[in-house]
Amino acid sequence: MTDLLVALLAAFAVWTGWRVFRVDSMVRASFSLMLSFVAVGGIGVLLSAPYIGIATVFMMAVEMMVMAIFMVMFMMNPAGLNPMSMVHQHRISIGAGLLAALALGAAVLLSPLPSNPVLSEADVVAELGHELLGPSMLIFETAGVALLATMLGAVILSSRQGRFGNSDEGSRPPGLTPEGEPAGRKPEGGGGHHHHGGHG
C-alpha cells in the first residue's frame, strides 16, 4: 500500500516537474514546480518524516509564490497567451538530462541497496530537534548565519540605492578634490541606461 502511494506520488512529482518546462503560463509553471515539491513532501510524510515533509510543503508554497511573482515580473507573456519556448542548446540539454537520469537510475538498479528502515515507534521529530540543538548545533547555527547573510546580501544586491546615488545611474563616488575625478576605478562605458538588451 505504502509502495503504491509512494510510486504514485513519485510519478506525480516527476510529471509536474516535467510540466514546469512545457506549459506556456508562467504562473502555472511555478505552481507545477510547487506541486512537485508537495508530492515529495507527501512521500516524506509517508516515509515517517512528517516534519521534513510538511516543512517542505510549507517552505515551497511560500517560495513558489515569490517565484510566481518574479516570473510575472520578468517574463514576457506571463499568462501564456503566446506560445512560449525560450531554449538554447536544446539537444545537448536533452542529452545531458537523459544521461543524468539514466546513469542515476542504472546506479539505483544495479547497486545493492541497504535495507534498514526507520523504527515505527521512533519519535523522529524529537530526535531531529535534539540533533539540531545538540550534536549538530554548529551546523544548524552556521545555516542560520548563512541565511542572515543571504538576507543582507539579497537586500544589498537588489536595492536601487547604491552608496553614492542610484545604482542604475552609475553610483560613482565623489571626487577626492571638489569637482575632481571620482575616486576609485572608473567604470568602462560609464553608468547610465543601457538600452533594452534582449527578449529574443
Residues numbered 42-81 forming contacts with another protein, rule: CB under 8 A: 43-44, 47-59, 61-71, 73-77, 79, 81
Q: Whose CA is closest to 33, among 162, 136, 112, 25?
A: 25
How far apart are CB 42 and another protein at their closest, in Å? 11
Cα–Cα distance for residue pair 155/89, rounded to 1 Å: 33
Quick one: 178 or 200, whose CB is closer to another protein? 200
How far apart are CB 25 and another protein at their closest, in Å? 7
**Is 76 in contact with 199 (CB distance < 8 Å)?**
yes
Q: How remote is the C-alpha of 113 from its chain's centroid?
A: 29
Quick one: 79 or 183, whose CB is closer to another protein? 79
Interface pick for another protein out of 101, 141, 176, 184 (rule CB under 8 A): 101
128 near another protein, rule: CB under 8 A: yes
23 near another protein, rule: CB under 8 A: no
In what helix (H) or strand (E) does residue 165 lie, and over which residues does it extend?
strand 165-166
Cell digits of residue 47 = 516515509
